[in-house]
Structure 1
Amino acid sequence: MKYKEFTLDPFQEDAIHSIEKNHSVVVSAATGTGKTLIADYIIDKSIKEKKRVIYTAPIKALSNQKYRDFIHEYGKDKIGILTGDVVINDRAPVLIMTTEVYRNMLLEHSIVPDLSYVIFDEVHFMNDPERGTVWEESIIFSPKTVRFLCLSATIPNAAVFSQWIRDIKGHEVDVVTCDKRAVPLQHFLFDNEAGVTTARELKRMAEMEENYRMLQARKRKVKKRSLRPKPNPPNHLYLVEYLQENDMLPTIFFTFSRKQCWENGLECAKEFDFTSDQEKAEIIEEYNAIIPAKFRSMRSMQNLRSMLVRGIATHNAGILPMAKELVEILFSRGLISVLYATETFAVGINMPARSVCLQSLRKFDGRTFRYLYSKEYYQIAGRAGRRGIDKQGFVFAMVDKGYDDIPKIISITTKDVEPIVSQFSLSPNMVLNLVDNYDDYKIEEILKQNFGYYMLRKKRKRQVRIMASFNNLKRKLTKNDYIDKRTNRLTAKGRFAARLYADELLLGELLFNGTFNRLSETDINVLLGAIVYEPRRADKFYTKIKHPKVKVDMSNKLIRKRLKEKHLALVDDLVRSWSEGCEFKKLLSKSNLAEGDIIRFFRQIIDRLGQIMKAESSLTDKLKNSAKKIDRDVVAVEFY
């Protein structure tokens, strides 16, 4: 069978046959096997049949890439995008959105008419401890008439996952699997002393050294740990040199630190030059076309330019969105040989390379430093090997054999074995929406549809916990006047909070104590900035304000618990200056926040303003003016 001039693989044919039967399909296939071709088929079919499709992605970067790709493929009139703070062509037959936006639409009963399929790209994100519940809720609350295409890297429990969907939605769900990559991968480790080697060979070497230390410790009558070698972290430049000598470029060099991305890129640019004079001219021309003159004098842009002309780049959330777009364009044209990127570049973005390198197999996950899960490793490794170009892809992980846990590394890099598990959890917003739309019997029925209950239904323990959580949250919401105790209906405050999908209780209290009516448009921006600000240890704000200029009544326990007064002082100068017309370049001198972080911070403020306007029409004019003060210049782009 052929589609789009491609001869389809058996798993692609199987998926298409299932789609023709109007079944849902769970596709569990290794990265790089061509899963997205199945999504393309659904989109083509739906457009021809005048039906509609929703394509959900776990991150905005993937949503944006799909938006660009689909516009090129189907035309601008056929494609829309909704990412919370940006809405473009929302009546289009194909809508691209983050999974959170789709879930929110379902809770608001904003059903897309003539919707045939919802495509969940990277559905294994359901495993994410913080966000995974969104995927589960999206499946549970979707209309029974809608079918799903769930795309994922290898899912060991795909059959159980599909049976869960079949049971709660009442239609056929087929599983299609493909473990064989179109471009096979070779996996290596790189140690400063051992060089490029395999995990098992490095384990043998490490064991020999350990045995030698034990013998020496006995001879000298000292503790073995006193003879442990000093840390010897591997050098990325040695690995780049190896890749160049062995024709394994281009490479994506993943590191879990933005700062390290920049440092590595600048170090690499001092040692290597991968571009010809003609390529340099092409890179500079593209740089000047995309980066406006007023931003080119920024240090980050100068550093990026110095790397780009040598075929080296960095890609992370801290750089300007336009700079990320530039890097992606140059990389896709083959003008970048070494790209230092953070983990988000591995999520679905279709920009493979001949090789992939990992600076470490350990990362900080927001709570602790830990080794990667095998699924995380394979998500990154899957970027190696370009279909139709490379016969093999190469994956290199940098390790220190004296300190790294080699058996653990072997288990990570041997097989992608982590199943999908339930992360279903209840938020105040969900409880309010359940109370507003369903009776107690139906609420219990809905809660029983979660994947965790399906997996543990015989033990009942999970459901007891979920029902207890629901009742506990409902009591708190009733106590704080979000639910009327007498009628069991939402109060005005409850109806407002039910339309918000972040900080709903804090914003509910602030609205109903008159804070938004009292504050100026700029002060509202500062307040929302303090609410959305997520501090990092290294963050510095250079304007010291001892006492917040924005005064908030902190006597309310919910406000006191959720709003940090010190954040009101910290972000004041940054948000106030931008709201009052400060130039972006000058704004950078007010903190050490990266350009991309500042823009994302402001977009979060705009997102909250939009949610409040949607939930409370009396504030629309005032909050529109607040948004105009923020949504300008480099912040006011179409999408990220």
Structure 2
Amino acid sequence: MAAKKSQKNILPYKYRGLVLDEFQRQAIWYLEHKISTLVSAPTGTGKTLIADFLVEKTLEANQRLVYTAPIKALVNQKYREFHSRHGEKIGIVTGDISYRQEAPVVVMTTEILRNMLIRGDSRAADVNWVVFDEIHYLNHPERGTVWEETILCIPKSTLILGLSATIPNAKQLAQWMESIGRHVAVVEHRERAVPLRHLYFTKHSEAVEREGLLQAVAESPSINADTKGGTLDWDELSILRRQRRSGSARTATHLDLIHYAAKNRLFPCLYFVFSREGCEEKAKELAGTRDYLSAREKEAVRVNVRRKLQKAELSPEDIPKYNTWYSQWLRGIGVHHAGLLPVVREITEQLLERQLLKVIYATETFAVGVNMPVRTVCFDTLVKYDGEEVRYLTQHEYFQMAGRAGRRGWDKQGTVISRIEETAPGALPTWSESSIEPIRSRFHISFNMVVNLLARFQPWEIEEFLSHTLCSFQHQQGVPDVRSSAELMDDFRAKWALLQELEYMDGTKLLAKGEICRNIYIQEILVTELIASGLLQELKPEELAGLAAAIVYTPKAGDPNLTLSPPRWTPAVDLIYDRVSKIDTQQLIGGFSVYPVISPVVAAWAEGRGLREVLKKHPLDPGDLVTVCRQSIDLLRQILTAVPQASIRGKVLEAISRLDRGVVRVTTE
């Protein structure tokens, strides 16, 4: 017996030919012993290998697993990886695409799992494991509530694997899960597989560490300060910066930084710029002066691009600015941001993976949606405008991007170089993963949650449910800016009362509009009222597509405010808004967000017009058109589930079919 017990407690040493780190071995041991596990470790340390192990063992045991990720791009990436290893045992669901939902392992967005669980969908209940990739999304200001609701709704019999970047309060999260009856082991790992070196690029085209930067800036001719024998601190320096003379010297450019990286053999390099236009401008400037590929590498680029376009059933003529992107790829330079067509982003990712790109100019969406390390990460600036103020990056934002530096098995260290300007606000932060901001509950009670909970539970059970939230748990522990369970229940009751006034509920009984609302997750009150009004029956499929787009689209800075030809459904939306506003005296709904300007653009695409013609109607990036069409398809699928009338369902299906074509279509390949 002693020998068997000893064997049982031996930690695994290797997996898929790779020697496991201690934290990976610990996590796998817990998983083998059917223990829910929360893993917190820096980006690039090999957390996904733990999930790969669990997927393989789940399939061997003929069990079921749901793998969730926060971004559709990550869901698609994981699906392709798992499908290449396990074939038809893998399915995918993202709201706008569904394939093999009944497979033993299904990859999906966290929102999809939340929606299934809160409706009481049996497919979500009959699962052995749920994997949360990027579980630190609990801290996302708008979407964090989805992760909290999902964890609350998962049956106690279902085990959880949570994978997180470094978070300081991982043990608190585990304690919360323990408090709601779920035993959770915590595996924390602080060290990076490839350590990071943080450097700052000065106007003298030198990359120096923080201490060297302080002295270089203080002693620059534009400030001319005494460094006090090296004791000058950043707060004093920020005062001196304001006293600088107007004729300051030239600031180092991105070309200087890239030249430094090339000279010091720091490619491939991921260069973060916080604007799409900035990415494209800088790539154009670099491509005008540099060519990093050999003739053989150029031919490999041609083959990869041709193969990708053939698989996507697209031609160069289907892709705006194709000649620009193709010319840059042939020089080893790429651009990656959400405004590009998905196929352009995918080609860029594929060429980087094959080491055919040396420099990629990207926005921060690359760090969230793509798991692809490089040797060097560069920041064009450490300052960003967040919609309210100009500020330095948070610790989490910085390491989400900087953590891509350093390729395990390739590099002894990852290099992070930040271009610094003297006009930066305040004191430069000291970057440390031990200073990353803790996760705080973002729990929010939506009207969809209210109707779904009342459809399944008694009020006293709902009160108990709300008392089990991370929000309530953290309030009891003294975390600031989170609500108590009593405050949550007050909010719930207020929204329940409003739903009764709007005739969604009769006490605890769902009425017709309440049943519709159960299946709508985007502006549920507006969409439910539109369905109930009979408006959808009057619209053509292309008008229905345009209406869906107006509901899902979030206008950006610079988007036009008015349209000369408002859609004919506009008065109906105005009437609904006026009627609901008179009843919603507490403004619990918070108004409706509808952007009619986008409607004729998406309607034109649904009518079968070409991409270039459609984009002439609105200053829209091609990738944004694809995104709004995919989001419209998602909303239309929700409407399809919510309405029983065959006449409406036919129009909805036609609208989906018309949107889902060409560059908008998503394939499972």
User: Where on the TM-score scale, by shorter chain, does this alignment land: which range?
Assistant: over 0.9
Letter in 2 for 1:318: G
Residue in structure 1 matched with residue 468 of structure 2 by the alignment = 449
Which runs of structure 2 are paired with 1:509-588 in the superposition (5 Å)? 509-539=529-559, 545-553=564-572, 554-556=574-576, 557=578, 562-563=591-592, 567-568=595-596, 570-588=597-615
Alignment of 1:159-558 (within 5 A): 159-168=171-180, 170-193=181-204, 195-207=206-218, 212=224, 225=242, 227-229=244-246, 234-291=252-309, 294-296=315-317, 298-347=319-368, 349-400=370-421, 402-405=422-425, 407-410=427-430, 412-413=431-432, 415-457=434-476, 462-484=484-506, 487-539=507-559, 545-553=564-572, 554-556=574-576, 557=578
In the aligned structure 2, how far is the partner of 1:466 from the partner of 1:140?
15
CA distance in 1, matches of 2:107, 2:314: 32
Q: Quick one: distance in 1 between partners of 2:195 and 2:243?
A: 43
List gaps (5 residues or longer) in structure 2.
1-12, 228-239, 582-589
Tell me the alpha carbon deviations over residues 298-328 of structure 1, each in whole angstroms, 9 at most, x when there is no partner. 5421111111000000111111111111111
Deviation of 1:590 after TM superposition, in Å, equals 2.2
Which residue of 2 is the match for residue 614 of structure 1?
Answer: 641
Among 53, 63, 69, the alignment partner of 2:65 is 53
Matched, 1:109 2:93: no
Which letter maps to 1:500?
I
Alpha-carbon distance between aligned partners in 2 of 1:470 and 1:293, rounded to the nearest angstrom: 49
Equivalence for 2:230: none
Secondary structure in 2 aligned to 1:409?
A: coil
Specify the alignment match of 2:16 in structure 1: 4
- Amino acid in the other structure paired with 1:248: L
Please name the residue that 1:218 is paired with: none
CA distance in 1, matches of 2:618, 2:628: 13
Aligned to 1:38: 50
Kept after mapping to 2: 8 A contact 1:355/1:393:
yes
CA contact under 8 A between 2:193 and 2:408: conserved in structure 1? yes
Partner of 2:623: 596
Which amino acid is 2:357 matched to? Answer: I
Alpha-carbon distance in structure 2 between the residues aligned to 1:589 and 1:627: 23
Cα 1:352/1:244, change in 2 over 3 Å: same
The answer for the alignment partner of 2:655 in structure 1 is: 626
Distance between the aligned counterparts of 2:656 and 2:580, measured in 1? Answer: 23
CA deviations on 1:105-157 (whole Å, 9 max, x unpaired) are 10111133641111111111111110011111110010000111111111211
Tell me whether 445-454 or 227-236 shows the greater mean CA deviation: 227-236
Deviations 1:164-204 (A, max 9, x none): 11221x23211111111111111111122463111232223
Q: 1:592 to 1:57 in 2, by over 3 A?
A: same
Corresponding position of 1:220: none
CA offset at residue 254 of structure 1?
A: 1.3
Query: Which amino acid is 2:644 matched to?
Result: S
Deviation at 1:72, TM superposition (A): 1.3
Quick one: distance in 1 between partners of 2:400 and 2:619? 31
> CA separation of 1:623/1:177 partners in 2, compared to 1, >3 Å: closer, same or farther?
same
1:219 equivalent in structure 2: none
Instruction: State the alpha-carbon separation in 1 of the partners of residues 432 and 281 from structure 2.
Output: 27
Contact map agreement 1:31 1:153 (CA 8 A) in 2: yes
Segment of structure 1 superposing worse, 464-473 or 78-87: 464-473
Q: Which residue of 1 aligns with 2:8?
A: none
Q: What is the SS of the residue equivalent to 1:425?
A: coil
CA distance in 2, matches of 1:398, 1:339: 16
CA distance in 2, matches of 1:385, 1:66: 21
Going from structure 1 to structure 2, the CA distance change for 1:409 and 1:551 (only over 3 Å counts) comes to closer
Counterpart amino acid of residue 512 in structure 1? A
Contact 1:375-1:417 at 8 Å conserved across structures: yes
Cα distance, 1:91 vs structure 2: 1.0
3-state DSSP class of the match of 2:288? helix
What is the SS of the residue equivalent to 1:357? strand
For structure 1, which segment, 170-179 or 105-114, has the greater mean C-alpha deviation from structure 2 after superposition? 105-114
Task: Work out the CA distance in 2 between the residues paired with 1:602 and 1:559.
Answer: 28
SS of 2:503's equivalent in the other structure is coil
1:246/1:614 CA distance change after superposition, 3 Å: same
Q: In structure 2, what is the Cα distance between the partners aligned to 1:572 and 1:34?
A: 44
Gaps of 5+ in 1: 216-222
Closer/same/farther in 2, CA of residues 558 and 205 from structure 1, 3 Å limit: farther
The 3-state SS of whatever aligns with 2:667 is coil
* RMSD after superposition: 2.5
Q: How far does the alpha carbon of each residue in 1:583-603 deviate from its partner, in whole angstroms, 9 at most, with x for none?
A: 123222222211111011111
Q: 1:418 corresponds to which letter in structure 2?
A: E
Structure 1 position 78, deviation (Å): 1.2
Distance in 2 between residues matched to 1:118 and 1:230, nearest whole Å:
59
Structure 1 range deviating more: 65-74 or 368-377 = 368-377
| CA separation of 1:55 and 1:537: change in aligned 2, threshold 3 A | same
Flag the 1:328–1:558 CA change in 2: closer, same or farther, 3 A. Answer: farther
**3-state SS, counterpart of residue 472 of structure 1:** helix
Give the distance between the partners of 1:461 and 1:518, measured in 2 at CA: 44
Q: Does 1:155 align with 2:167?
A: yes
Rounded to whole Å, the distance in 1 between the matches of 2:541 and 2:288 is 48
TM score, norm. by length of structure 2: 0.88
Q: CA deviation at 1:375?
A: 1.2
Change (3 A) 1:297 1:67: closer
Rounded to whole Å, the distance in 2 between the matches of 1:601 and 1:616 is 22
Q: Which amino acid aligns with 1:447?
A: L
Deviates more, 1:184-193 or 1:550-559: 550-559
Deviations 1:582-623 (A, max 9, x none): 112322222221111101111111111100010112121121
Task: Name the CA distance, whole Å, in 2 between partners of 1:142 and 1:15.
Answer: 21
Query: Is residue 118–residue 153 contact of structure 2 (8 Å, CA) maintained in 1?
Result: yes
Q: How far apart are the structure 1 equivalents of 2:259 and 2:41?
A: 33
For residues 12 and 546 of structure 1, do their structure 2 counterparts lie closer, same or farther at Cα, with a shift above 3 Å needed?
Answer: same
Secondary structure at the aligned position of 1:159 is classed as helix
Counterpart check, 1:120 vs 2:140: no
**How many angstroms apart in 2 are the aligned matches of 1:621 and 1:237?**
55
User: What SS does the aligned partner of 2:429 have?
Assistant: helix
Aligned to 2:9: none
For residue 520 of structure 1, report the CA deviation from its aligned partner: 2.0
CA offset at residue 438 of structure 1?
1.1
- The CA deviation string for residues 353-408 of structure 1, in whole angstroms up to 9 with x for no partner, is 111111121223344433211011111111111111111110111221x2224633
Q: Figure out how many residues of one structure are paired with residues of the other and give that number.
A: 625
- Sequence identity (%): 38
What SS does structure 1 have at the residue aligned with 2:43?
Answer: coil
